[in-house]
Amino acid sequence: MKALLLIDLQIDFLPGGALAVPRGDQVISVANRRMPDYSCVVATQDWHPADHKSFASQHPGHRVGDIVEVDGIEQILWPDHCVQGTRGAEFAPGLNVASIRRVVRKGIDPNLDSYSGFFDNARRGSTELKNYLRSRGMDEVDVMGLATDYCVKSTVLDALDLGFRTTVIAEGIRAVNLYEGDQQRALDQMRAAGATIA
Ligand code: VGL
Ligand code: ZN
């Protein structure tokens, strides 16, 4: 049984948003077109408190793109984004949210970032995603959303690690590309770990 995972299809990741992913808006129609093919559609939602430690605003003297250490792990600093309850954290306008069976929120702990829909970046804690998928009898996941080089990649690598057969929907992903080549490196890494890029 195969589930569709929609990663962070939120206003702040679309053009004009706080952490805009170039051409991120183009994947919304892909999600809408694909959803009817699955009995189980799960969406993740980046859901940060206003003082989240992944925000450059919480590190005086640092700028967006800097890398700092937070609680012993490396953290890239981002603009404030997907703050709980704000418009930027809402799902993209036009996304067919009625077809989403379950929403999994992540990045809630102010001191820990969580790119993956399964675990935080330090792997100290997990979301309900794995148990939810297993309880629904899912052993396979198709993954799409934003952004290829962060949350999609981390979710795909964790899904493979947890034993899900995993396919990346190539037309449904877009990358931040903080550094040139990040998108290609992310695709290579996912493929090397066992993902099918379709
Ligand atoms: C994401 C950076 C920070 C993502 C979330 O959804 O890929 N990237 N928070
Ligand atoms: Zn985030």
Tens of pLDDT along the chain (198 residues) come to 999 999 999 999 999 999 999 999 999 999 999 999 999 999 999 999 999 999 999 999 999 999 999 989 999 999 999 999 999 999 999 999 999 999 999 999 999 999 999 999 999 999 999 999 999 999 999 999 999 999 999 999 999 999 999 999 999 999 999 999 999 999 999 999 999 999
Kind and range of the H or E run holding 153: helix 153-161
Q: List pocket residues of ligand 1, CB cut-off 6 Å.
A: 8, 13, 46, 78, 115, 146-147, 150-151
8 is catalytic: yes
CA–centroid distance for 11 within its chain = 13
Contact 4, 35 (CB under 8 A): yes
> CA dist 44 to 59, 69, 155, 183, 186, Å?
26, 25, 10, 20, 19
The Å distance, Cα 46 to ligand 2 centre, comes to 5
Tell me which ligand sits closest to the C-alpha of residue 174.
Answer: 1
Contact 145, 172 (CB under 8 A): yes
Ligand 1 atom closest to 150 (CA): 7
Cα separation, 2 vs 108, in Å, equals 27
Structure tokens at 105: 């929120």
pTM strictly above 0.85: yes
